Amino acid sequence: MPRFRLEIDGRAQTIEADDDQPLLYTLRELEFRGPKFGCGLAQCGACTVIVDGQPIRSCVIPVAALDGKAVRTLDGLARDGEPHPVQAAFIEEEAAQCGYCTNGWIMTAVASLERNPNVSDADIRSMFAGLKCRCGTHMSIMRAVRRAADQMAADSITEGQNDV
């Protein structure tokens, strides 16, 4: 069986898997619980992870395509016991009902806001094209992402001032 090397949430992993095994299956076998199996067709977003700064659907990308890459999951977002600003905003805004889809919304927001936290509400709506939430918590999710974007933008300004 082929072996692949991935860095998952900052830790090197050697994976034995078939070339066509979806990354999601690999992550679940390694007991990562953030990404979920939703549709298996890259349509709902429950399986979203971040690779090279981009949110990807792990249910359809083979682990072989990511050999040597760094993968970020919801499981590894917190730092020193503190949630990522997007996670904190989701908690503060109570932006989950059943929570099954939350991984996709958070990981998509993290990838987008880490590239540029200065987003409009229209940008936020656009970044979520294709994500699904059957519980209908969309308004809470929008409020949470707006809160996180504002916090991350303020943090980047503060960091910039400290660099001077």
**Rounded to an integer, what distance in angstroms lies between the CA atom of residue 140 and that of residue 63?**
33
Q: What is the pLDDT of residue 158?
A: 80
Which segments within 52-147 are labelled E, that is strand? 54-57, 70-72
Taking every pair of C-alpha atoms in the chain, what is the biggest distance, in angstroms?
A: 52
Q: What is the pLDDT of residue 86?
A: 98
Which segments within 9-146 are labelled E, that is strand? 11-16, 48-51, 54-57, 70-72
Element of type H or E holding 84: none
* Confidence (pTM): 0.94
Q: What is the pLDDT of residue 164?
A: 52
Q: What is the pLDDT of residue 156?
A: 87
Digitized pLDDT (tens) for each residue of the chain, 164 residues in all: 999 999 999 999 999 999 999 999 999 999 999 999 999 999 999 999 999 999 999 999 999 999 999 999 999 999 999 999 999 999 999 999 999 999 999 999 999 999 999 999 999 999 999 898 888 899 999 999 999 999 999 998 887 676 65
**Rounded to an integer, what distance in angstroms lies between the CA atom of residue 18 and that of residue 43?**
23
Q: What is the pLDDT of residue 159?
A: 76
